Amino acid sequence: MPPTPPDPLGILEPWIGKGKTYKDVPDDIADAVTARVTLSSTGLEHLLPSVVGCTIQQLVSHELPKRSHATTIFNPRSRYHPNQPTTTLSVLLKCSDWCIPPQATLDGLRDVSGQAILDGCNSIKVWDMKDAIYAPLSVIGLWAFLLVASTSQAKWKLALQWLNSAAVDTSLKERAISAMGRVQWQGKLPAISDWLDVSRAPEFLSNSYLSTSHVNAMLYLVRERVSRTSAISSTTLISSTDLADRLSHTDTTYPKNSIFEAQTFGNQFSSEPQRYQLLTVAYSPPNHWAAMRLDLRGKNISGSWGDSLGWKQPKKLVKGIGIWLDYHVPLRRYTFSDDLPCAVQTDSFSCGIVAVNALKHNLFGDPLWTAQSAAKLRIKEFCDIMDSEYPCPNIQPSLAETSSERTLISAVPLEIPRPVQGLLVPTPSTQDKRSVHPFFGAPRQPPKRKPSPTNETSSKPTKAPRLVAPKPTKVNDNPTSKSSGPKNTLTGRSRSTLAKRDINEQVANGTFVRSDTKWEAYLTKLRGLDPDVEVNERDITEIRKARHSQCAQWITQDEPYNIWKFKKHLLTCKGKASSRPAGNTRTLIAMDAVSFIPTLDAEPSMVAAQSTSPSKKPADIETWPCPGLSQEDDPRIPQYFSRTTQPSAGGVKANILAQSMFGVASTRDLDENQSKALALRQQATHRWRLDLVNITALSTSLSP
């Protein structure tokens, strides 16, 4: 197939090769520039017919190009050349001496692509090949797609390893593998108020914490099952996790800024005040899910809370529910207790499964979750979600109904867009619809340049750009080029806002790919503001959060790697400690995933001195070894010891130590002896350890 002309209308010709630095350009110019570094869906299908649209099972068995895990250090602009391409993408795919670049490298190339194209560049030099090969500019789009495919392939391979090692019936494993043979790896699965990307589904087949999308997908099946159960279908409502989350932030201004679910269910309560019960799963910070039920069928309204860790319901949630109910069903007494039957969680990652299981137990009489049934229930949830949308031919109709047979419970059903039955990916509106991945649709904002009156141009809506070639006819008068918000850039109007939104969406659904270089720079900046700041490194959906050590508050940044919100918090924070008990400031998830960010050589006394007012001389105190936290301090300590497997933790990251000890950026580059030395060095930086004899958690960093 001949390549599609990147600029069929020639609208870029007046802009290319003028020796100017461009800052803002009209939308049509930005679109033409973006088209040169992306691939259309038909282009990808032509180049990779066995990968695009293939099933999960086919992706796992497909041999993709090798993936580079080391960020190549070079000036991205130096890889762009005015030379015409010396190869095609199809020929390049047949070569074996190149690797898929890491995300950080692709980001750098994409950042400078707009200016490079307007400077007259026509190709990119492939740097890791023996011969000088110049590839078309659209190779960036090819690399980006292959990076996503490779990442997804790795996730599914790990999921299969976990599945094969699970102690469950062979028939259940075969059912899961059968689902992987039917569903496309780029597909979407329905959730109660959202979509669950198939790329997130491997987390069901793992020992991982489940996110909002996972829980909403499970709640979707609960609601479908309720609709098929005549005894409760007319009186039972199932909501998404969004309802509890928004009610936690509800105040007396309700229903202003309220979500659709809150008003819909509230109106149903108003019309029939003693008919319904509502069940859902609620988020209980930090990093925890719990089951919740509101029963309006009696004289008084009763709220029930089921928590697998025995935590109390959040006060903000209880208050918000009270405001919500008082608006829709006034003069009804409302009480909230923690008497909803729920299993006791014995690991650090099953709270989402346990919470949904508690709802099923109370609605249908399903057995409560146990440690022995943990793997079985995770696999079953995975299979049920897959089979509900893309059923296997031999599955009973009750388990896999068609779209026309599905009915939602409630007089006012929730409107959820659904794909056509049998299709795994919604069909694009046009054959050549671009941006098959957020990498294309949400380009990153290029680095800011210092304005220069001699070489910078700008397409203001009321006047022509300065020092630029003549623009195409009527470009200046096009009302769509006017901007009342952020300025246009080479990748389209309001790109910064759109990019931030899409990046945050990637973070929320777990598809965001973290740049090690930017992450280390981000940690360094945070460490300069707060030496004991904490971040969650293992859960990509928590990458925007940082915990201030003085007030124990988690601050959510505007976007990944941005510290502005944290700096703003420091200006107003008075260092007030959390009102919750010290033993309740960490969940098992947090102990496993949250990292302290200490300096390598800082002594504890130095860190403490930084938080001490310089005008006051510290009082002389007698130092004693840390006595630790025992059952006398918090009754949950024995339970924690029975569930954790880490004897000590809280040290410096391995890649930071690898850089300081051996001068390498990744632990993958270490030999066996170096890895052992690194492990010993990291253990020496641990900040806490467990005394298994005396059942006491000790702080090693505070011992004199």
Indicate if the pLDDT at residue 390 is higher than 60: yes
Lowest mean pLDDT among 75-89, 279-293, 678-692: 678-692
Residue 465 structure tokens: 């750009």
Strand partners, 237: 278
| Mean pLDDT across 229-233 | 92
Residue 408 structure tokens: 């939602």
Lowest mean pLDDT among 238-247, 335-344, 550-559, 692-701: 692-701
Residue 645's contacts (CB-CB under 8 Å, 6 or more residues apart) are: none
| Mean pLDDT across 73-100 | 86
Indicate if the pLDDT at residue 474 is higher than 50: no
Note the residue count of the chain. 704
697's enclosing H/E stretch is: strand 696-699
Closest CA to 336 of 269, 290, 285: 290
| Angle ∠(337,295,282) on CA atoms, nearest 5 | 60
| Angle ∠(483,484,490) on CA atoms, nearest 5 | 35
Question: For residues 124 and 136, what is the distance between their CA atoms, to the nearest angstrom?
Answer: 6
410: confidence class by pLDDT, cuts 50, 70, 90:
very low
**pLDDT for residue 704:** 40
**pLDDT for residue 146:** 93
Lowest mean pLDDT among 250-254, 433-437, 698-702: 433-437
| Mean pLDDT across 344-370 | 95
306: confidence class by pLDDT, cuts 50, 70, 90:
very high
**pLDDT for residue 257:** 77
**pLDDT for residue 97:** 76
Indicate if the pLDDT at residue 375 is higher than 80: yes
Q: Summarize pLDDT for 685-695 with one digit per residue, the tens.
A: 887 788 777 78
Residue 627 structure tokens: 């006595």
The CA radius of gyration of the chain, in Å to the nearest whole number, is: 28
221: confidence class by pLDDT, cuts 50, 70, 90:
very high
Question: For residues 594 and 588, what is the distance between their CA atoms, to the nearest angstrom?
Answer: 10
Dihedral angle at the C-alpha atoms of 23, 25, 29, 33, nearest 10 degrees?
20
Lowest mean pLDDT among 178-192, 439-453, 540-554, 613-627: 439-453
22: confidence class by pLDDT, cuts 50, 70, 90:
confident
Q: Which residue has the higher pLDDT, 393 or 100?
A: 100
- pLDDT winner (highest mean) among 86-90, 95-99, 278-282, 389-393: 278-282
- Output the CA–CA distances (angstroms, integers) from residue 378 to 90, 168, 171, 218, 290, in the order listed: 41, 11, 15, 10, 17
451's enclosing H/E stretch is: none
CA 348 from chain centre, in angstroms, equals 19
**pLDDT for residue 623:** 58
| Mean pLDDT across 118-132 | 83
Question: For residues 595 and 601, what is the distance between their CA atoms, to the nearest angstrom?
Answer: 17
- pLDDT winner (highest mean) among 69-73, 329-333, 485-489: 329-333
**pLDDT for residue 656:** 83
Question: For residues 222 and 632, what is the distance between their CA atoms, to the nearest angstrom?
Answer: 41
Question: For residues 40 and 702, what is the distance between their CA atoms, to the nearest angstrom?
Answer: 58
294 with 266: CB under 8 angstroms? no
Q: Summarize pLDDT for 308-338 with one digit per residue, the tens.
A: 999 999 999 999 999 999 999 988 899 999 9
| Mean pLDDT across 588-595 | 42
269: confidence class by pLDDT, cuts 50, 70, 90:
very high
Indicate if the pLDDT at residue 444 is higher than 80: no
Question: Could you give the domains of the chain?
Answer: 1-165+437-508 (no CATH), 185-405 (3.40.395.10), 514-613 (no CATH)
HSE value, Cβ hemisphere, 13 Å, CA-based, for 215:
31
451: confidence class by pLDDT, cuts 50, 70, 90:
very low
Indicate if the pLDDT at residue 362 is higher than 80: yes
635 with 677: CB under 8 angstroms? no
Q: Summarize pLDDT for 609-665 with one digit per residue, the tens.
A: 333 334 444 455 555 667 788 877 887 888 777 777 677 777 788 888 888 888 887
Q: Is 9 exposed, middle or buried (0-12, 13-18, 19+ CB in 10 A)?
A: exposed
Phi first, then psi: what are they for 5, rounded to 5°?
-55, 130
DSSP structure string for 275-322: T-EEEEEEE-SSS-EEEEEEE-SSSSEEEEEE-TT-PPPPHHHHHHHH
Q: Which residue has the higher pLDDT, 87 or 582?
A: 87
Question: For residues 512 and 12, what is the distance between their CA atoms, to the nearest angstrom?
Answer: 32
Mean of the per-residue pLDDT values for the chain? Answer: 76
Residue 424's contacts (CB-CB under 8 Å, 6 or more residues apart) are: 183, 184, 186, 187, 188, 198, 390
Question: Strand 277-283 to strand 289-295: parallel, antiparallel, or no bridges (unpaired)?
Answer: antiparallel
Residue 469's contacts (CB-CB under 8 Å, 6 or more residues apart) are: 14, 15, 18
- b/e burial code for range 450-476 (CB count within 10 A of at least 16 → b): eeeeeebbbbbbeeebeebeebbeebb
323 with 307: CB under 8 angstroms? no
CA 158 from chain centre, in angstroms, equals 19
Indicate if the pLDDT at residue 442 is higher than 70: no
**pLDDT for residue 622:** 57
Rounded to 10 deg, the angle between the 351-364 and 374-389 helix axes is 70
**pLDDT for residue 520:** 83
Question: For residues 266 and 255, what is the distance between their CA atoms, to the nearest angstrom?
Answer: 10
Strand partners, 278: 237, 294
DSSP structure string for 216-263: HHHHHHHHHHHHT-TTTTTTEEE--HHHHHHHTT--TTTTTT--HHHH
Q: Is 623 exposed, middle or buried (0-12, 13-18, 19+ CB in 10 A)?
A: exposed
Dihedral angle at the C-alpha atoms of 426, 428, 429, 435, nearest 10 degrees?
130
Indicate if the pLDDT at residue 562 is higher than 80: yes
Question: For residues 457 and 466, what is the distance between their CA atoms, to the nearest angstrom?
Answer: 5
DSSP structure string for 538-556: S-GGGTTEEE-TTT--EEE
Q: Summarize pLDDT for 569-587 with one digit per residue, the tens.
A: 888 887 654 444 343 344 4
**pLDDT for residue 75:** 83
Percent of the chain with pLDDT over 90: 33
Question: For residues 447 and 542, what is the distance between their CA atoms, to the nearest angstrom?
Answer: 25
Lowest mean pLDDT among 246-250, 399-403, 527-531: 399-403
Strand partners, 489: 492
Residue 72's contacts (CB-CB under 8 Å, 6 or more residues apart) are: 101, 105, 127, 128
**pLDDT for residue 388:** 84
Residue 325 structure tokens: 């109910």
- pLDDT winner (highest mean) among 192-196, 269-273, 698-702: 269-273
Q: Which residue has the higher pLDDT, 429 or 393?
A: 393
| Mean pLDDT across 414-427 | 33
Coil, strand, or helix at residue 134?
Answer: strand
| Mean pLDDT across 102-109 | 88
**pLDDT for residue 591:** 42
Indicate if the pLDDT at residue 607 is higher than 50: no
Question: For residues 329 and 324, what is the distance between their CA atoms, to the nearest angstrom?
Answer: 8
Q: What is the value of pTM for the model shown?
A: 0.57
Coil, strand, or helix at residue 54?
Answer: coil
Strand partners, 698: 689
Closest CA to 639 of 357, 355, 285, 344: 344
Closest CA to 175 of 387, 362, 449: 387
Residue with tokens 């269910």: 265
**pLDDT for residue 420:** 32
- pLDDT winner (highest mean) among 214-228, 465-479, 551-565: 214-228
Q: How far apart are the first and last CA of the chain?
A: 72
